[in-house]
Amino acid sequence: IYLYNPFPDLQNVCVYQPRLLSTHLPYASLPTSIKDSNSKIVFICRNPLDMFISLWSFLYKLGDESLEPLSLDEAFDKFYHGIYAYGPFFDHVLGYWKASQENPSKILFLKYEDLKEDINSHLKNLAMFLGVPFTDDEEKQGVVEEIAKIYSFENLKEVEVNKKGVHISGIPHTGFCRKGKVGDWSNFLTPFMAERLEKLIQEKMDSSGLTFNLSSKTSKDITSA
Catalytic residue set: 24
Give the count of beta carbons closer than 10 Å to the beta carbon of residue 190: 11
- Please name the helix (run of DSSP H) or strand (run of DSSP E) that holds residue 112, with its range, or none: helix 112-117
Please say whether the beta carbons of 114 and 45 come within 8 A: no
Dihedral sign, Cα of residue 72, residue 78, residue 80, residue 82: negative
Please say whether the beta carbons of 214 and 222 come within 8 A: yes
Using alpha carbons, select from 101, 112, 119 the residue that is nearest to residue 214. 112
Using alpha carbons, select from 141, 155, 146 the residue that is nearest to residue 119. 146
Helix, strand and coil percent figures for the chain, each rounded to 5: 50, 10, 40
Please say whether the beta carbons of 204 and 94 come within 8 A: yes
